[in-house]
């Protein structure tokens, strides 16, 4: 396609390719220039307003884990309520768990976690209905559980949200339920909760050490090419 472009033979396919190439570079934010562009994009989306039609674009900013862009994206919103305008669906819940899986337990920006936990609490408050919408897997449960911070207690805001969601998963195991998948999810969730609450136990008794590894140098995005002030 590049050789044809040099000759002036520009196709719609090539234009789409260029758009994808440059937006991917911006979302990867591997340099100051890309971060600055992502922040401008986040500002545009913030002013446009998230809704049930365009929310996938907003998820891409959250998935970038770039705190500078995320601060701008969420400006004027309560993180826990940010996705309330979107009717929960399989895609959005799957996207939340994908974000958990991409990063190590201490890598995800706190504001992003508050957004994602707010959605999951809304979805799984009714455990059965939430399960019908999106059936979590054991890796999903572990990716959520790994974010628990054992250096803080259950009253920590993020810990509390995780424990609440795990409790909802635990509610899937009832006397009237004979679904082995539901029971497996419920029991793993309760094991993680028990490991957290019991001072004699550790999370590594229910989650692998590999999953519980922490990132030594947490950056949450390369700063932009100008002074950034987080108010």
For residues 45 and 73, the answer to whether their CB atoms sit within 8 Å is yes
Name the more confident of 174 and 103. Answer: 103
pLDDT of residue 89: 97
pLDDT of residue 195: 96
What's the pLDDT tens digit per position in 125-164? Answer: 999 999 999 999 999 999 999 999 999 999 999 999 999 9
Q: Where are the alpha helices (DSSP H) in the chain?
A: 2-6, 12-28, 32-48, 55-64, 67-73, 90-102, 110-124, 127-133, 138-145, 157-170, 180-197
| Cα separation, 168 vs 28, whole angstroms | 34
Residue 196 CB partners (closer than 8 Å, separation 6+): 148, 150, 154, 159, 163, 203
For residues 143 and 97, the answer to whether their CB atoms sit within 8 Å is yes
Q: What is the token pair recorded at 189?
A: 């969730």
Half-sphere exposure of 203 (CA within 13 A, CB side): 23
pLDDT at 120 over 80: yes
Helix 157-170 vs helix 180-197: angle between axes, to the nearest 10 degrees?
150
pLDDT of residue 5: 55
Helix 138-145 vs helix 90-102: angle between axes, to the nearest 10 degrees?
60
Q: Which of 32-41, 104-113, 161-170, 222-231 has the lowest mean pLDDT?
A: 222-231
Mean pLDDT, rounded, for 47-56:
96
| Cα separation, 143 vs 134, whole angstroms | 15
pLDDT of residue 7: 53
pLDDT at 91 over 70: yes
For residues 193 and 127, the answer to whether their CB atoms sit within 8 Å is no
Residue 129 CB partners (closer than 8 Å, separation 6+): none
pLDDT of residue 166: 98
What's the pLDDT tens digit per position in 4-49? Answer: 555 566 778 877 877 778 888 888 888 898 999 999 999 999 999 9
Mean pLDDT, rounded, for 187-209:
95
Q: What is the token pair recorded at 111?
A: 């504001």
pLDDT of residue 25: 84
Alpha-carbon Rg for the chain, nearest whole angstrom, is: 20
For residues 141 and 189, the answer to whether their CB atoms sit within 8 Å is yes
pLDDT of residue 174: 80
For residues 134 and 100, the answer to whether their CB atoms sit within 8 Å is no
Residue 170 CB partners (closer than 8 Å, separation 6+): 186, 187, 189, 190, 193
Average pLDDT, the chain: 91
Q: What is the token pair recorded at 115?
A: 């957004």
* pLDDT band of 98, cuts 50, 70, 90: very high
pLDDT at 229 over 70: no
């Amino acid at each position: 396609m590049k050789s044809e472009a040099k000759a002036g033979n520009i196709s719609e396919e090539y234009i789409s390719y260029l758009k994808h190439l440059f937006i991917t570079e911006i979302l990867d934010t591997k340099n100051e220039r890309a971060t600055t562009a992502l922040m401008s994009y986040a500002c545009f989306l913030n002013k446009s307003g998230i809704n049930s039609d365009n929310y996938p674009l907003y998820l891409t900013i959250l998935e970038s884990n770039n705190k500078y862009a995320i601060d701008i994206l969420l400006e004027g919103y309560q993180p826990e309520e940010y996705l309330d305008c979107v009717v929960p669906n399989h895609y959005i819940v799957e996207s939340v768990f994908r974000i958990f899986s991409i990063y190590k337990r201490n890598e995800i920006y706190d504001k992003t976690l508050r957004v994602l936990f707010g959605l999951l609490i809304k979805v799984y408050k009714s455990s059965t209905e939430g399960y019908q919408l999106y059936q979590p897997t054991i890796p999903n449960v572990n990716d959520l559980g790994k974010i628990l911070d054992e250096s803080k207690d259950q009253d920590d805001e993020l810990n509390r949200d995780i424990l609440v969601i795990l409790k909802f998963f635990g509610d899937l195991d009832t006397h009237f339920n004979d679904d082995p998948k539901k029971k497996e999810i419920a029991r793993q969730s309760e094991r993680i909760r028990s490991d957290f609450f019991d001072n004699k136990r550790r999370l590594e008794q229910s989650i692998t050490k590999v999953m519980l590894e922490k990132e030594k140098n947490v950056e949450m995005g390369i700063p932009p090419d100008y002074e950034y002030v987080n108010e």
